[in-house]
Amino acid sequence: MYFIKTPFFAKCFYPSLIWDIPNPENRIFLTFDDGVNETLTPFILDELAKYDFKSTFFLVGENCARYPQQVTDILAAGHQIGNHTFNHLNGWKTDNDIYWENINKTQIYTQTNLFRPPYGKIKFSQIKQLQTSDINYKIVMWSLMAGDFDPKTSHKTCLERLKKHSKSGSIIVLHDNIKFAHIIKNILADYLAFCAEKGFILDIIR
């Protein structure tokens, strides 16, 4: 089970995490989890470039090690990257020391102060360690999840959700994961065209 729109109680339960970024400029913040790879990452970059839109990619360290050129390409295009652990760990099921070591291992490739917990699952003790570290991580969650990872959800439904719920300040989650490439390749061009038509500015998270 997952929420398309992040419920208010989640924001109250984790008030120090970033759920949205209100702004008066009609900016929205499209993010991609789980990258990088040799096939879907270039496709996403090409589609974003058509509108000069910028996004934030939360990268899995083992993928960065495998495909370093794609990490370079993301940064060269003016996009932002964040840490998504080295092995896509579930924080609720992972010892804090192992979780922290996994994050640090990814930092070798990402060198960022942005972090997103895989599955959105993170302990309060892990939050404290991230936020009080020398890096002083910003832990970025989301306000809108289209469900591109859900095998029961069609690409048409994902696109409808994005169009219906995107608004200024939204942090939106899609996935740069080849397992869901058929969804992304069916919705991204249409969604970006919609954003351009509506006057949204797609920006990085800083």
The residues annotated with a catalytic role in the active site are 33, 175
Q: Give SS3 for 56.
A: strand
> How far apart are the C-alpha atoms of 195 and 67, rounded to whole Å?
30
Of 49, 70, 38, 75, nearest in space to 178 by CA: 38
Q: Which residues of 54-71 are buried (b: 16+ CB within 10 A; e: fewer)?
A: bbbbbbbbbbbeebeebb
- For residue 144, CA distances in Å to 21, 75, 138, 163, 173 come to 12, 24, 18, 11, 6
Lookup result for tokens 């970024």: 21
